[in-house]
A and B are shown apart, each in its own frame.
Chain A
């Protein structure tokens, strides 16, 4: 069979499956219930809290990710492989395991305990920000490492030859030349932070109107039988996910076009 037939078959199956799930969800809830659920105080709190935590978390993560990814892409040092694996580990272990590790660190390990004692991180919104920052840093650093590696190193060498420091080179050459890839990496990190459930619920708990982010509220709604709320938030998550992924894909496409 031709590769194009396989491709059409796979894409068709995926699209049909996605359409079937979305239509099933849409049919199982009336428009009135959907709007009521979406405008309920639980849903509005969840949406607000998710954005209020994912935006600062992803911005903090970006500040860590840029130098970290640049060092991993360009510098050759002894523990690079170890650092590389360590940075990617939040993506490679189950979110619940990551949450357990963070919780254990905050409650049992002296520096973490001191941090928790002074800032009250566990079972608080600050815990959500901490978890989301770690996850987003991992996603952004891994993605940005690829973006920076794909840049022609000669441009950076020339900048150094002109007498610019590595920091000036990063700010004036590397970041502007990879701005689309940078934005796409940011959005990917943001989306991962926005949608995390497992690690967040371990560290921040699932208290309605306190630490109930969008995924947490879906979990609470399902466990209390409020299916309208759960489905409304599921649909909203799908829309946000599709919009962000479409933006990421378009930015990647432009980024690849620009590099050729």
Chain B
């Protein structure tokens, strides 16, 4: 379970404030907002790449980040938070093969060579990309890159899976298929919480809960898609 309390992160002309947010294990939340609303900053704070000035982040009951008035009391390093991260452009390393990209993610875990190989093969099978293990990112389509980026995040056996606009680089006609595939795959695993940033209302069809971010403020948190659609129609989201 992910719990966020009183999170504040300021930049020169922007301030992200999240009073309270929680996501239960097995459930999927969408952070909905336009570009520049603070979605990526919130995700990066969960991953540990961005350090907020205030607030608390708990993952499965353990505090991974705690700060008050700019003084950081707890800061578990990014690789040790139990968070799997799929960045916006997937960011597969172009000089590494598919296999090497996933193995690189596992390297800090100091697994034995056979364990590492087993784990890479396991996630490649899971995303149905085993035959692509020796390919390089330049040889893959957008959808295939997304699956590899997902496999890289899942290989870490995360407690929280963070997806930053996972469908934004996919051709619109393939998005619906990929949404359904992703939902099916992650539902079958069911042992982590998923946090997904998006600015596409069609992505809401696969989530259980929606949080609306507007100009850095979390203005709404709901499990009712009807209410969210009403808000969108009123112009209270974008």
Contacts and interface: CB of A to CB of B under 8 A. Distances in A.
Given A154-B87, A172-B104, A161 B78 contact: yes
Interface string B84-128: 010101010111000000001101110000000000000000000
B79 interface: yes
A222 B95 CA distance: 50
Contacts of A168: 107-108
* B-side interface size class: 20 to 34
B85 A163 contact: no
B85 A161 contact: yes
A168 B89 CA distance: 22
A157 interface: yes
Given A163-B108, A164-B108, A158 B79 contact: no
B77 interface: yes
Nearest to A160: B78
Nearest to B88: A154
Contacts of B49: 157, 160-161
Given A158-B91, A177-B93, A163 B104 contact: no
Contacts of B109: 163
B14 to A, nearest CB: 18
Contact of A161 (B48, B89, B93, B94): B48
B228 interface: no
Nearest to A175: B95
A162 B87 contact: no
A159 B89 CA distance: 14
B95 A162 contact: no
A176 interface: yes
6 contacts: A152-B91, A155-B93, A158-B85, A160-B79, A164-B79, A176-B93
